[in-house]
Amino acid sequence: MDRTKCPLLRVPVEIRLNIYDYLIPDHSQFHVHLEQDGATLSKCVNPNPIFTNSSGDHLYTGRERRDRTSHTDHVWARRLRSAWGPHWKCEEQHCEILDLLARTTILHITDLETIHHLDYANISSFQNPLQHIRELSITLRLPLNFFLSLEEPEDGRQELARSTWCKLDKILHQLSELRALRLYLDHDGTDTWTLVNERKTLEPITRLANSKDLVILVTLPKLHPKYEKEDRHFTDSLSGDPFPIRRMQRQQYHGIPNRLDESGQERYKVEEILDFPILTEFLEFFYEYSIERCEAEERKMWARGDDVERTREEFYQAMIEMRNENHAI
């Protein structure tokens, strides 16, 4: 969500923390436990799970876990086997909530490590809530070297990430109830996205689209007309793509390493680095142009071999002069 569209994110962080503190009841207790090699927090619904009789003696025999609505002992036996001990109610609620979320919400994954753990999560188990995921959104902003290594697998640092990505179709095929997949890809560098071989990168998604009945939407950065190639990229001139691709404009402001401070911590600065298109910010010069038409005209300029960077500088100087004249009036 755009920060400007969420009222909570528009307030200062100190106020947000006070709001969070107000929403969390006093003396709340939480369970922390490992789940897929990661720490997970869940609310404790039974902070004092000790039963007492009329004599004040503690009773903890296991009968308190019996499911009186069932005619079999299956649920009771499962509760008796709980590693959470007397907190079995907390485990049961945690699993029920995960199952509900998997069935009714869009789940977002933003790193390859989580996808890697899905491969070892025994998804086929009936009790695993991941089995019931119906809508999945994967958003990945990865190093440029990762994407380049898919073509030339020489970078050993990318081996685990590359291995996970290349079998993404097999991992997601385990999600038997998956019906919709959204994928957003970009790299975290300042170079143009067009350096990436899109067709090689999306091979796992192509295999998935051909083997599973899924609604797939892929979002990628816009291609630079100067560097795009039909054998490497999903260009507009080709049809019959296995899934729809939506193009976005890359962010133009980046955090660039600048220097080390006194404590040796990396300090960053903000730089503007443009990718295609670079002329849409000057729409005020073209009153009758839409963003789409402005992009189309810029694409033609690149195709003709025009010096588009110089044109942008001329527009920029003209915009400054126009604003100075308006201030002088």
Give the pLDDT confidence score for residue 63 in this predicted structure: 65
Q: Which tens digit of pLDDT belongs to each residue from 157-166?
A: 788 899 999 9
**pLDDT class of 5 with cuts at 50, 70, 90:** low
For residue 274, how many other CB atoms are within 10 A of its CB? 16
Give the pLDDT confidence score for residue 128 in this predicted structure: 61
**pLDDT class of 198 with cuts at 50, 70, 90:** very high
CA dihedral 126, 127, 132, 133 (to 10 degrees): -130
Among 189-198, 238-247, 264-273, 309-318, name the most confident range.
189-198
**pLDDT class of 105 with cuts at 50, 70, 90:** confident
**pLDDT class of 36 with cuts at 50, 70, 90:** low
Q: Which tens digit of pLDDT belongs to each residue from 280-326?
A: 777 666 656 777 888 888 888 888 888 888 888 887 787 777 777 76
Task: Determine contact, residues 144/188, Cβ cutoff 8 Å.
Answer: yes
Check residues 156 and 296 and name the one with the higher pLDDT: 296
**Domains in the chain: boundaries:** 105-274, 277-329
Cβ-proximal residues to 73 (8 Å cutoff; 6+ apart), any chain: none
Record the pTM.
0.71
| Residue 93, CA atoms < 13 Å, CB-side half-sphere | 12
CA–CA distance, 109 with 196 (Å, rounded to integer): 22
Q: Which tens digit of pLDDT belongs to each residue from 41-67?
A: 666 766 665 554 455 555 566 666 666
**Which secondary structure element, helix H or strand E, spans residue 139, and what is its range?**
strand 135-142
Task: Determine contact, residues 296/303, Cβ cutoff 8 Å.
Answer: no
Among 169-173, 258-262, 303-307, name the most confident range.
169-173
